[in-house]
Amino acid sequence: MKAYIFPGQGAQYPGMGLDLYEKSPLAQEYFEKANSILGFSITDIMFEGTAEQLKETKVTQPAIFLHSVILAKVLGDSFKPEMVAGHSLGELSALVANGVLSFEDGLTLVSKRALAMQKACEIAPSTMAAVLGLEDEIVEQTCADVEGVVVAANYNCPGQLVISGEIKAVESACAALTEKGAKRAILLPVGGAFHSPMMEPARAELAAAIEATEFKEPICPVYQNVTASAVTSASEIKKNLMIQLTAPVKWTQSVQAMVADGGTEFIEVGPGKVLQGLMRKIDRTVTAGAAEMPA
């Protein structure tokens, strides 16, 4: 079975999406529509902006979403997903690709998500750290033992777990994990503690917007970050998306579930190759590649 996977924050790069815009009138139409929905020219920043400008949360999330979703639209009839999943932000791209959300509603939610997360980051200083080379259980237990807020946030692949929380708690956890044999426990250059209780203000704000948005039945199952299992009910998809910002991204578990359910070919739709790299560490028996524009 063919599985389409959609990247999250961190996959952006200067010039992203320009080839799509130049080669496809359909892509142009969607990019211009996006500029109008967002109220600023995101295409100028995507095509000509610096890496620094692209790192701004209000730009990063819509830019990655647009690159992924517009590429899926341009693939036309060759885009036939039998299962989809997205990493964090990528889940919203996946929900547009499998027909649950319209392009307009998806982009509006992504924009609101980015701004809500930015606001939550400003409320309290917080951060994330990547922990390499330890078993998940050791990382989880260490986080539970540390004083303050720190939790396992992104299960990216076996031996790579991102933790998230208050700066002091994350630093204490990194020191403890290094002592327990982590190859590396390094702070990430992010603006806040995504997928942790620190995102509660953003979760509440985004949940209200999700509640007011129409969700349709999907054309194929989506393996959601929160459950790491196939979900086909619009109301359940909505409910899971509402708690995504404060819950961990169970990416390793999602991919394993997709493989167990018959996924053999994984195609990354969007900028970068982050998910293809993770795929090779999660399961080498399946193929992983990138979606490419039709010639």
In this predicted model, what pLDDT tens digit does every residue of 158-213 receive, in sequence order? 999 999 999 999 999 999 999 999 999 999 988 899 999 999 999 999 999 999 99
pLDDT at 295 over 90: no
Confidence of residue 292 (pLDDT cuts 50, 70, 90): confident
| Same-domain status, 110 and 156 | no
pLDDT at 122 over 80: yes
What count of other Cβ atoms lies within 10 Å of the Cβ of residue 286? 16
| Same-domain status, 112 and 233 | yes
The alpha carbons of the chain give a radius of gyration, in whole angstroms, of 18
Compute φ and ψ for 257, nearest 5 degrees.
Answer: -65, -40
In this predicted model, what pLDDT tens digit does every residue of 249-265 receive, in sequence order? 999 999 999 999 999 99
Provide the domain limits for residue 172. Answer: 123-187
| Same-domain status, 219 and 76 | yes
pTM of the model: 0.96
| Same-domain status, 65 and 108 | yes
Q: How many domains does one find in the chain? A: 2
Whether 212 and 75 have beta carbons less than 8 Å apart is answered as no
127-146 average pLDDT score = 97
Amino acid letter at 5?
A: I
| Average predicted confidence (pLDDT) for the chain | 96
* pLDDT value of position 47: 98
Domain assignment of residue 270, yes or no:
yes
- What is the rounded distance in angstroms from the CA atom of residue 90 to the CA atom of residue 265? 18
* pLDDT value of position 189: 84
Among 36-45, 120-129, 163-172, the least confident range: 120-129
pLDDT at 4 over 90: yes
- What is the rounded distance in angstroms from the CA atom of residue 191 to the CA atom of residue 188? 9
Domain final residue pick, 160, 187, 214:
187
- What is the rounded distance in angstroms from the CA atom of residue 246 to the CA atom of residue 151? 10
Compute CA 98 distance to the chain's CA centroid, rounded to the nearest angstrom.
Answer: 16
Helix (H, G, I), strand (E, B) or coil at 187: strand
* pLDDT value of position 214: 98
| Same-domain status, 112 and 203 | yes
- CATH of residue 130: 3.30.70.250
| Same-domain status, 110 and 212 | yes
| Same-domain status, 134 and 90 | no
| Same-domain status, 266 and 154 | no
| Same-domain status, 11 and 106 | yes
| Same-domain status, 13 and 76 | yes
| Same-domain status, 75 and 214 | yes
pLDDT at 97 over 80: yes
- What is the rounded distance in angstroms from the CA atom of residue 206 to the CA atom of residue 116? 7
β-partners of residue 163 are 129, 152
In this predicted model, what pLDDT tens digit does every residue of 270-285 receive, in sequence order? 999 999 999 999 999 9
The DSSP annotation for 1-64 comes to: -EEEEE--TT---TTTTHHHHHH-HHHHHHHHHHHHHHTS-HHHHHHH--HHHHTSHHHHHHHH
Indicate which residues carry an active-site annotation.
88, 195
- CATH of residue 106: 3.40.366.10
Domain assignment of residue 295, yes or no:
no
- What is the rounded distance in angstroms from the CA atom of residue 155 to the CA atom of residue 69? 24
| Same-domain status, 138 and 275 | no
* pLDDT value of position 56: 85
In this predicted model, what pLDDT tens digit does every residue of 199-248 receive, in sequence order? 999 999 999 999 999 999 999 999 999 999 999 999 999 999 999 999 99
